[in-house]
Amino acid sequence: MQVFLMICIGLLLASCGGERQPKPTVAAIESGEKTRMEWQKARKPIKVCIEGMEATTPAWPHLGVYMDVSTAIPEERQALAGAMFTRKGDVYVSANRHALTSDTTATVSVCYPFRKGLGTNDTLRLIAPFDEKLYGVETRRIIGTTIQPTFRLQSSMALLRIVCEGDDLRDRLDGITLIGDDIYTEGGYQPYTGRWLDKKANGSLQAGSTDCLLNNGRKHDLYLIPTETACSVTIIIRINGKDHVLRTMLPPLTAGSMTHLSIRKGNEGVAINGSWVEPERSLAYKFRMMPVDSVQTGHYLQRDGTIQAKRDTLSMAVVMETDGKHGKAVALSDCPGSFVFSGNGVSSGRRFPTIDGKRKEGIINPTTGIGEDDKVIYKPGMPYSSDCALGYTDGATLTQGLVEADGQTKRNSPLGRRTMLQETARHPGGYVPSLGELAKLYYLLECAKPSTLKGLIPPLQGEYLTCSESGKDTFYLMDFSHGIVTGRLSKRYTQAKLRLFYLF
């Protein structure tokens, strides 16, 4: 009897358990698979577009992207929460295969630079120096095989741009320091919203990219935390190891604005000789400068005073000699036209009665058929005295002396001829090379084997001016086609080509 009761109870329990957990039917399984497949088909990759950016436009290499995706598997939510999107042509895409979603209405946020894993409400504590920081405002969205939102990038920084110049092309800029009670040096920052919180002024800010020539056209940018009101600042400009102090008022430094200051050094010190404000500046990606002490012969001097390894449309000269940081570069092309030395007997105060200690004229390193009296043997490093023209290689000092002696480089020369000083004044940081510098360039292009410079600049052909004087009314000229040096030509009437050199 007991056994019978136990069997009945077991059957009853089995029956009740079967009612609570029915086995899935074939139809239910097929329905679930179909739903899953449809959901998989609905997932789309995300492509981020930036207004005004084309495939050939230099732009930011990557962006941070955050999407608040609720209807997704954990892998997808992680792939779209503070992920890096890399530029590919004219769009930004993710390399993560889980960066897909079926939520076409999800909010998308972008920022630059990329901040791994951060969301829209996350705050960073940042301390100066600062660089550019961008966030995006979505302007439209296209839904097709991809989810493709388009953004207008906006800066959360104010930009103070300082450009310096002076009367002496040899002046070197050692540093720029900015101090002010409303110049903030730290604050809390939300990358995806561009908001600054808890701002503090504690110390000074230094501009980067100094330790360069004062007159080379370089723009010295300080990115600043925005301010709501005008502020009094002190700017310390260090030139040739000496500090020059300026005090001025800056307008409200609003996000996305640029305040431009032109500062000039004269005999009385430094002063602001021009300024303006752009309430909304254009955004441009800035390439990183070459590391310190990495400049090599054959690199290119750019119009903004920086150095690049490869030539582009902004290259204006090729490095001829360098210590890895500073040096000389020769222009990539001649100044258009022909020029005379000067309109009068202007002199730098330095004359060279001979090119090599023996003669006033000759042919440099001729191969055959030239007598010993006309032959001049030259090689960089040969112990020519600085008292002869081939041994003096500081054309910048000679050019500066000529400019100071002339004082009127813009006046007309006899018979309407243009002077080399008038042309040089149009090229900040440029100078007329000495005979010694031109002779070295001739050697590097025509005699040296192997030649680092050959093929990097168009060949120099014909007669070229130098800033080396052979007498009160005469100067040295060099014929690059034949390597001939002539030292008794008129400053006022002899016309020739001009190839400028640059210090950097």
Tell me the domains of the chain and their CATH numbers. 44-122+130-154 (2.60.40), 158-278 (2.60.40.2630), 327-503 (no CATH)
**pLDDT at residue 7, rounded to an integer:** 40
Report the distance separating Cα 360 and Cα 475, nearest Å.
10
Contact 429, 500 (CB under 8 A): no
Average pLDDT of the segment spanning 23-44: 59
Is residue 6's pLDDT more than 50?
A: no
What are the pLDDT digits (tens) for 216-273? 888 999 999 999 999 999 999 999 999 999 999 999 999 999 999 999 998 888 999 9
What are the pLDDT digits (tens) for 331-352? 999 999 999 999 888 999 999 9
**pLDDT at residue 10, rounded to an integer:** 47
Is residue 9's pLDDT more than 50?
A: no
Closest-CA residue to 396 (of 368, 366, 427, 369)? 427
Report the distance separating Cα 55 and Cα 87, nearest Å.
9
Average pLDDT of the segment spanning 387-393: 96
**pLDDT at residue 271, rounded to an integer:** 95
What are the pLDDT digits (tens) for 397-427? 999 999 999 875 445 565 678 999 999 999 9
- Confidence band, pLDDT 50/70/90 cuts, at residue 21: very low
**pLDDT at residue 372, rounded to an integer:** 85
Torsion sign over Cα 205, 211, 215, 220: negative
- Confidence band, pLDDT 50/70/90 cuts, at residue 8: very low
Is 458 buried (19+), middle (13-18) or exposed (0-12) by CB count in 10 A? Answer: exposed
Is residue 16's pLDDT more than 50?
A: no
**pLDDT at residue 204, rounded to an integer:** 93
The residue behind tokens 């495939």 is: 55
Mean pLDDT value across the chain: 88
DSSP state of 35: H
CA distances from 331 to 246, 301, 485, 501 (A): 35, 9, 21, 6
Report the distance separating Cα 38 and Cα 306, nearest Å.
55
Pairing verdict, β 147-155 and 49-50: parallel
Is residue 498's pLDDT more than 90?
A: yes
What are the pLDDT digits (tens) for 190-217? 999 999 999 999 889 999 878 889 988 8
**pLDDT at residue 117, rounded to an integer:** 85
Contact 175, 238 (CB under 8 A): yes
**pLDDT at residue 33, rounded to an integer:** 55
What are the pLDDT digits (tens) for 473-497? 999 999 999 999 999 999 999 999 9
Report the distance separating Cα 111 and Cα 235, nearest Å.
31
User: Three-state DSSP class for 12?
Assistant: helix
**pLDDT at residue 406, rounded to an integer:** 83
Q: Order of strands, edge to edge, in the sheet holding 49-50?
A: 49-50, 147-155, 134-143, 108-112, 62-67, 81-88, 91-93
- Confidence band, pLDDT 50/70/90 cuts, at residue 290: low
